Amino acid sequence: MLRSIDKVILFCIYALLHLCSSEGKINKQEIVSVSALLTFGDSFVDQGNNNYNAAIGKANYLPYGKDFMGGKPTGRFSNGKSLPDFFVEGLGVKEYLPAYLDPFLQDDDLLTGVSFASGGSGYDPVTPRFSSAIPLSDQLNMFKQYIGKLETKVGEEAAMDIITNSVYLVVASTNDLIITFPLRGILTDATEYDTMLTNLTLSFVQDLYKLGARKIAVFSAPPVGCFPLERTLFGGVLRMCVENLNAAARLYNNMLKQQLPILESNLPQSRVAFVDFYNPLIDIINNPQKYGLENTNRGCCGTGLVEVIYLCNKLSRTCPDDSKFLFWDSIHLSEIGCNIFANQSLPGLVDSLF
């Protein structure tokens, strides 16, 4: 006969084994502690910074934001919530991520994270010049200002605790590949350009690390050749995905995926994650029904073929049900598209960073 204490011990062992099994796996997202989410890059993570600068690309007018709180356009390049909103909520930090340049930003918002991103920006310093977007170098300067504000509010030691315990999302290669690469491609090939782009990405990660970042998630390039606009312009009568653009994206992604672990090994106490922004979107595009979608080759705004930023405006008709569309306009994901991708990628991101 087992004594009561033996039964308790056996039960505890059984429970522990069950929790660690595949059927009772512990959800890391529920137990990790993240102080803040900070994002850098382009329009996929711009929460409204372009509202307050000279950038050409803005989204602070309807129908952008029509499904956001109260149908209010905020500068997010979507019909509703954007990728940072889903990531900051999924990490258990807060419900929405604000733009750093928002004049109504509260001091308490600084403690839990902001976005420094600017629609139209990229790793290539030439890229933001086309749209007067905020270059990544200036986004880093904004981050330095942010650190100073944190130190003023909570003190230097507490500020550094927030900085080192925050998650950083870097999403910045799209405009390089769809705007600058085709122009530079006259003088340089994809391998040469993607090598340069990879080196610029690694350099930016190092700059973040020097400022205190320790948990950095770097997004790969998405399948830019499958964006509705690129299909319309370069995909022929059938609007097929543009293979040379996708090939350039894959080449960059492969280079980046190989180099990030090497960089991480040279940055003490850092975790640098590669977030695949390509293959999950390709799977969604090729298998829409699998994700409850009906259309993955057009945007919901207007005809869905070319409408983006100012071509998607209050005069544009929108699709009857944007929850069935992967894309909101001819480049950016809809709220449901952002939600699907975030749900797919967040568990892997947490495993890589913690």
Catalytic residue among 329, 330, 334, 345: 329
Q: Which of 35, 46, 115, 332 is catalytic?
A: 332
332 is catalytic: yes
* Three-state secondary structure call for residue 146: helix
Look up residue 258 and give its DSSP letter: H
Q: What residues pair up with 324 in beta bridges, in sequence order?
A: none
Asked if 259 and 198 touch (Cβ cutoff 8 Å), the reply is: yes
- Report whether 38 contacts 93 (CB < 8 A): no
Other Cβ atoms closer than 10 A to 334: 27
Cβ count near 224 (within 10 Å): 24
Per annotation, catalytic residue among 43, 82, 330, 345: 43
Distance, in Å, from the CA atom of 335 to the CA atom of 354, rounded to the nearest integer, reads 27
Q: What is the distance between the alpha carbons of residues 230 and 245, in angstroms, rounded to a whole number?
A: 9
d(CA 220, CA 241): 18
Active site residues: 43, 329, 332
